[in-house]
Amino acid sequence: MTYTPPQLFTFEQFLAEYGDNPRYELIDGELRDMEATGPHEEVSGNIAGRIYAEILRSNLNLLVPKTCLIKPPNAEATVLRPDVIVLDKAKLNNEALWQKRPIICNGNTIKLVAEVVSKNWQDDYARKVEEYAFLQIPEYWIVDFCSLGGLQFIGNPKQPTFTICQLINGVYQQQQYRLGYAISSFIFPDLQLKLDDVMP
C-alpha cells in the first residue's frame, strides 16, 4: 500500500484555483473543504444578519462583507475564510489587497470573526483559536449548533454551544452559552442575542 501525500498549495495557487469558491480555505498548504450544508449557511446568515442589524442600530463604522479571506502575514500557505467577519471600515485603506480582492492581511482591521462548526470542528476549536489570537482579533465566536465539538470543548453531555472568545493579554478567554441564555459580547455590548436566535 502506498501513501499519496496531499497536494500542497501556495497562496497564489489557492487564489487562482479556489479564491472565489466559498467552500474551501487553505491551512499550511493543505486545501480544507468547509463542507457547508444548508443549515450551516442558515446559521451563518442568521449571525451576520443579527450583527449587521446591530451595526445599523448603533451607527457603527463597521462592515460585514458577504465573503472575505484572511491572509495571516506570517503564514505563506494559509488563507482562512471565516463564516462571518466584521471589519473596521476606517482601517480598510491600510489593506494592500482589498481594492482588488476581498482579502484582509492586517488583524487590526478585523473586529470579530465567527465560525459555524462543521465536520472539521478541530480547526475551529484549536487551530483557528491560535490563528485569530495571533492576529489580535478582539473577539471570536464559535457556534456549534450540531454539538460536533469534542467533549473537552463543549462538555458532557454534548449539546449546542455558543462560545465567545475574548482576547485578553494575547490569549482568548472563553465563555460558553447554551440554549436559552443571552450571550455577552465585548464588541457589541448592547446586542440582544441567544443561541436560539441563530439556530436553523
Q: What pLDDT shows up at residue 165?
A: 97
Q: Say whether pLDDT at 4 is over 90.
A: no
Q: What is the pLDDT of residue 76?
A: 80
Dihedral over alpha carbons 143, 39, 19, 127 (to 10 degrees)? 30
In the block, cell 449539546 appears at 159
Domain positions in the chain are: 39-66+85-198
- Residue ranges in the chain assigned as alpha helix (H): 11-18, 38-58, 121-122, 128-134, 151-154, 195-198
Concatenate the DSSP letters of all residues of 172-197 into one string. Answer: EEEEEE-TT-B---SSSTT---BHHH
Q: Quick count: other Cβ atoms within 10 Å of Cβ 61?
A: 10
**What is the rounded distance in angstroms from the CA atom of residue 87 to the CA atom of residue 74?**
20
Global pTM value? 0.92
Cβ atoms of residues 63 and 50 within 8 Å = no
Q: Bridge-partner residues for 127, per DSSP?
A: none
Q: 36-64: per-residue pLDDT in tens?
A: 889 999 999 999 999 999 999 999 999 99
Alpha helices in 123-171 (DSSP H): 128-134, 151-154
